[in-house]
Every structure is written in structure tokens, then in C-alpha cells.
Amino acid sequence: MAPALAARALEIAVDGDPTFRSRYNEAALRNLLRDAEVFVERLALCVAADDPYFLEQFADQTATIFRRRHVGMDDVIRLLEGLRSAARGVLSPAELGAADRAIDDGIRVFLWYRQIAGDARKKNPILQALYKGIGS
């Protein structure tokens, strides 16, 4: 069940942003699918315990790994929102509250990392060229 839910979450994330496929090659999409499977497992722990701790802590521990893999925090947030949508078809109404709280806390962590990493601002191409150098 977890791999199917993760695949659906990634599919929703990719469908929500037309530039998603152009930013990531096939190997990177497979990595994101594997990450989505771990998000599903963490979400299951959160729902079982009715505590968002597991997903929130996982988000805090993996934000730097996503940075190292050149995955923007907006894309990870989009993946979590896809997981929220995909989970609606699987979870009962009583479980949806715990799932929503866990996903909201995970998104809050990624938004914080987005802020400190500079994703929140569009990069000026002229300044980027000057920073990198003309021939780079």
C-alpha cells in the first residue's frame, strides 16, 4: 500500500507543476519516489500515535539532504501536499486530522529551511552571471 500511495503522491506533485519533469531527470524522480515512500511510513507512525513528531523530526533531519541533492524545498512541500491528497482516499475521517497535523508540521519545517536557504527569492540572472563569472 505504501509504494502505491507514494507513487500517487509524486504523480500529484508532478501534475501540479509543469516544470517539475524538466528540473529532475529519471534518477532524481526515482529518488523522490523513494523519499515519498519514507514520508508515507512516517505519516503512518504519526497517524498511529496521533502525534506529528515523527514527520516533523524527519523533515528537520532531511532538509539538508534534499539541499545536497539540489531538491528545492518548494518541491518537497509539493510532494507533501501530494501525499495529503493521496492519503484522503486511504485514511478514515478520524485519521485525517492526525495526518493533516503531521503534514502541516512537516511543511512548516520545510518552509523554515526554504527561508534560510534562499528559495523564497527569485534569483536575478544578471547577478548570478556576475557572481559565477561570465565564462562559467
Is the pTM higher than 0.85? The answer reads no
Grid coordinates given for 72: 528545492
Which residues touch 93 (CB under 8 Å, ≥6 apart)? none
- Rounded Cα–Cα distance for residues 6 and 32 (Å): 9
- Cβ–Cβ under 8 Å, residues 32 and 94: no
Grid coordinates given for 63: 532538509
Q: What tens-digit pLDDT sequence spans the chain (136 residues)?
A: 788 999 999 999 999 888 888 888 999 999 999 999 999 999 999 999 999 999 999 999 999 899 888 888 999 999 999 999 999 989 999 899 999 999 999 999 999 988 775 565 566 667 666 666 655 4
